Amino acid sequence: MTDAANGNWTPDRPIVSLKDVHKSFGDLEVLKGISFDVMKGEVICIIGPSGSGKSTLIRCVNALNPIDSGSIAVEGQEVNDPKLNKLELRKKVGMVFQQYNLFPHKTALENVMMAPVLVLKEDKGSVEARARALIRKVRLDGKEDSFPGELSGGQQQRVAIARSLAMQPDVMLFDEVTAALDPETVKEVLVTIKDLAQEGMTCMLVTHEMGFAREIADHIYFTDRGVIVEHGPPATFFDEAKDPRTQEFLGQIL
């Protein structure tokens, strides 16, 4: 059990809390004891070389990948609990993927409206109003009736962000959301995420955009081979990295 037992979580406690998380795929141990806390309204970025377990880590937070041992709690609710109500968890945690993963047979508006209507059983009229507002918010007014196939990668990714926000989550997970985009469209997606972060949304990002991480993150975690090698606020992290592995990685990228 976590110290914040299910049900009596208060905003002064970590909204996401990871303790000694281990995860293997077959013989390959991807996460070898990851622990950190995220407070409400915080923006954290996870960076690191490919195959260091970043995406796996973030996918464990909304139970897309089960963990082998340790604990992940979201608002005091244990994610690894076999009795976990996944719907309750996924109402709290929104996720945006690298490949957008929009539903290609639905228009942008329908994509955004689908989950609140089907899953939360909300009234269609109020969902539609909210969905239209979200599409405006991600600066896609006029694209409501376009199908994903008619939108550019950056536009699709922004629809995906709106779709996730429509569930009114408390935490947003971004899994390398700009990795599939060309440099020009990367910017429009990053602006959207920045808006969100500035409004106080708790965000966990896996990213390769170092400049962006430096700009918006409250805290940066550098992972390599399944462990957190080094972490800190962007200013210290980027300028005063101590671990040789971090220095080497940053040296290659910056």
Partner 1 sequence: MWDSIQKFFRDLAERDAAWNFIYIYDDKELERVLDGMWVTLELAVVCVVCSVVIGLVGAWLQGAHSRIVRSVVQGYIQFFRNTPPLVQLMFFYFALGQFTPTFSPDGYLQQPIISNVGWAIISLSFFAGAFNVEIFRAGIEAVPQSTQEAAESLGMSRFQAYVYVVLPLAFRVSLPSLNNNLVNLVKTTTQALAIAVPELLYQLVSIYNDYSTAQNACMVLMFIVYITLVGFLVLGMNRWERRMTIPGYGGGGG
As measured in angstroms, the least distance from the Cβ of 70 to partner 1 is 21
Three-state SS at 163: helix
Q: Can you tell me which of 97, 221, 222, 249 binds partner 1, judged by CB under 8 A? A: 97
- Tell the smallest beta-carbon distance from residue 118 to partner 1 (Å): 6
Quote the DSSP letter at residue 247.
H
Q: Does 191 bind partner 1 (CB under 8 A)?
A: no
Q: Which residues are paired to 47 by β-bridges?
A: 222
Q: Please tell me the distance from the alpha carbon of residue 240 to that of residue 125, in angstroms, as a whole number.
A: 52
Q: How many residues bind partner 1 (CB under 8 A)?
A: 31
Is there binding between residue 202 and partner 1 (CB under 8 A)?
no
Angstrom distance (rounded) from CA 46 to CA 249: 13
Contact pick of 74, 102, 113, 162 for partner 1 (by CB under 8 A):
102
Residues contacting 44, CB < 8 A, separation 6+: 36, 38, 203, 204, 205, 217, 218, 219, 220, 221
Pick the binder of partner 1 from 11, 66, 103, 239 (CB under 8 A).
103
CA dist., res. 251 & res. 29, Å (int): 27
Q: Based on CB atoms, which residue is closest to partner 1, 44 or 115?
A: 115
Contact residues for 11 (Cβ-Cβ < 8 A; gap 6+): 40
> Is residue 104 within the footprint of partner 1 (CB under 8 A)?
yes
Characterize the bridge pairing of strands 93-96 and 43-47: unpaired
Determine if 66 is a binding residue for partner 1 (CB under 8 A). no
Site for partner 1 contains 178 (CB under 8 A)? no
Rule CB under 8 A: which residues touch partner 1?
A: 62, 64, 86-87, 90-91, 93-95, 97, 99, 101-105, 114-115, 118-120, 146-151, 160, 163-164, 167
